[in-house]
Amino acid sequence: MPTELLFRTDAYLDTAPGVVVGHTPEGGLILDRTVFYATGGGQPGDAGWVSGPDGQRIEIATAVKGEAGAVVLVPAQPQALPAVGSEVTQTLDWMRRHRHMRVHTALHLLSVVIPLPVTGGQIGVEKGRLDFDMPEPPEDIAALEAELNALIARDLPVTEDWISDEELLANPGLVKTMSVMPPTGQGRVRLVRIGLGEGQVDLQPCGGTHVARTAEIGRVSLGKIEKKGRQNRRVSVFLAP
């Protein structure tokens, strides 16, 4: 039975009730619904805790994808888990999740100011990075940083839309990432849009969590561009302290 993904309808929801529907052999906890994002697409799984019956508190180190659409909450240390059928309360480490959201949206904008194929990426609490198919490094990193911060400062809305698998196949230009294809086979694919109407600056498939408006990212800086192979170059984005 797939876990209901509460973050899909509200990325700002940081606590919610749930019912235990299973345990994994490795000691993971499966709820019927969750606010925890499971590791995927370069975004780490969420951390936090689950409050069980009789005041029991289970620290959650991360969340991963399980079988049949389940999200598995991984305890920070082995311990007894609430029984199947128990009602619990789940709570995110909100500061960590929100920084992931800021970094993730910033990376979407980075792919706008550097309009080259993306070969990989990773999201962290302090920074994120994209790897580009970039034979030659950009001449003016400061100009790219200024352009990126100008987009952020426009306070553009970040919204979502859905298209069918067939529509995605008919519009391959929507896919910027060469290394990871959007998940298909479910009948529809989620798109993340930055800006609306004539003010739209980006539209691409993505299953991750994002801020509601770009100004929420805050000012960012670009790190030194690293060469990773013959044509791949890594560009890192740092959140302001």
∠ CA 120-145-221 to the nearest 5 degrees? Answer: 75
Cβ-count burial 96-119 (b if 16+ within 10 Å, e if not): ebbbbbbbbbbbbbbbbbbebbbb
User: Could you give the CA distance from residue 110 to residue 114 in angstroms, rounded to a whole number?
Assistant: 6
Q: Rounded to the nearest 10 degrees, what angle do helices 94-113 and 141-153 cross at?
A: 120
User: Could you give the CA distance from residue 136 to residue 139 in angstroms, rounded to a whole number?
Assistant: 9
**CATH topology agreement for domains 4-92 and 97-239:** no
Tokens coding 199: 């003010």
Other C-beta atoms closer than 10 Å to the C-beta of 61 total 13
Q: Give phi and psi for 109, each to the nearest 5.
A: -70, -35
Tokens coding 220: 């960012």
Alpha helices in 55-188 (DSSP H): 94-113, 141-153, 165-170
User: Could you give the CA distance from residue 52 to residue 209 in angstroms, rounded to a whole number?
Assistant: 26
Full pLDDT tens readout for the chain, 241 residues: 899 999 999 999 999 999 999 999 999 999 999 999 999 989 999 999 999 988 899 999 999 999 999 999 999 999 999 999 999 999 999 999 999 999 999 999 999 999 999 999 999 999 999 999 998 889 899 999 999 999 999 999 999 988 777 776 767 666 666 455 555 556 678 889 999 999 999 998 888 999 999 999 999 999 999 998 888 999 999 999 8
- 233 contacts 114 by C-beta, under 8 angstroms: no
The mean pLDDT of the chain is: 92
Please give the helix or strand (H or E) that residue 26 lies within, else none: none
Distance spanning both ends of the chain, measured CA to CA: 41
- 129 contacts 225 by C-beta, under 8 angstroms: no
In 3D, which of 241, 231, 237 has the Cα closest to residue 113? 237
| Three-class secondary structure of residue 9 per DSSP | helix
Which CATH number fits the domain 4-92, given the four candidates 3.40.50.300, 1.20.1250.20, 2.40.30.130, 2.60.40.10? 2.40.30.130
Sequence ranges of the domains in the chain: 4-92, 97-239
pTM above 0.85, yes or no: yes
- Domain covering 97-239 in this structure, CATH number: 3.30.980.10
| Residue 129: partners with Cβ closer than 8 Å, 6 or more residues away | 107, 121, 122, 234, 235, 236, 237
pLDDT tens per residue, range 129-185: 999 999 888 989 999 999 999 999 999 999 998 877 777 676 766 666 645 555 555
| Residue 203: partners with Cβ closer than 8 Å, 6 or more residues away | 161, 174, 191, 192, 193, 194
